[in-house]
Amino acid sequence: MNLELLDFRRRVAEAYAAYRHAHDPEQATRVFRLFRDKLFGSHPESALDSDQKQGFRGLPSYPYDPGFRILAELRPTPNPGFLSLSLGDDGEATLRKVGMVEVALPTGTGTLDVFWIEGYGGGIFLPFGDATNGKSTYGGGRYLLDTIKGADLGSIGNGLVLDFNMAYNPSCAYNPRWVCPLAPPGNRFPFAVPVGEKYRGAD
C-alpha cells in the first residue's frame, strides 16, 4: 500500500467518523459531500484521472430527505452462503452473507442482504440497486456501507444506521480503470431511492 492510498483511506475514515458523531445528520451529510468533492477533485487516489479532474465541478446529489435515514435490525439470513465476485487484475472478492435488514422507506419496502468481506480483518459491505439506476444514478447500483474503506454509518445495539442520503456510486462509475463488486440481484429494489449521490451531471 502506498502512502497516498493510506492517506486517502485515512481521510475517508475520519470523515465518516465525524458524520457518526454529528448531532445533525442533514448538516453532517452536507459537510461530507463537500469533503468528497474536494477529495475527488484533488487527491492522487481519486477515482478520477487527471483529465477528468480538470473539468470536475463536484458530484451531483439529491436533496437530503430525513425519511431515508433508518435504523435497521440485523437479522439472520434464511439463505446463508458466499458470493465470489471478480475484481479483474485484483483477483476475486469473497463475500459471506452475515444477515439481512428489512428496509421501510418513503418509496417502498424490501430487504437487503448484508455481506462480510472475507480476508484479513474483513468488513461489512452493503451494496444496493434501485429504480434510479441507469437514469439519475449509476446503472450498476450504489454502495451504502463498505467498512474496509471506512464507509461506516454506525450502529445502535443490533441495528445498523442506514442513511440512504449517504449512498454513493462505486469508483468504476467514473473510470473504467476501476473494477468494483456490484449489487447482486437480491439487493435490488424495484422502487426508486431518490436520495444520495447521482451519476455524473445527471439532473
Could you give the strand order of the β-sheet that contains 69-73, starting from the edge strand earlier in sequence? 69-73, 159-163, 155-156
Q: Which residue has the cell 462480510?
A: 116
d(CA 54, CA 42) in angstroms, rounded, equals 9
pLDDT at position 88, please?
A: 54
d(CA 2, CA 56) in angstroms, rounded, equals 25
Each of the 203 residues of the chain gets a pLDDT tens digit; together they read 589 999 999 999 999 999 999 999 999 999 999 999 999 999 999 999 999 999 899 999 999 999 999 999 999 988 777 777 665 555 577 889 999 999 999 999 999 999 998 876 789 999 999 999 999 999 999 999 999 889 999 999 989 999 999 999 999 899 888 888 888 888 999 999 999 999 974 33
pLDDT at position 154, please?
A: 96
Domains of the chain by residue range? 3-187
Q: Please tell me whether residue 35 adopts helix, strand or coil conformation.
A: helix
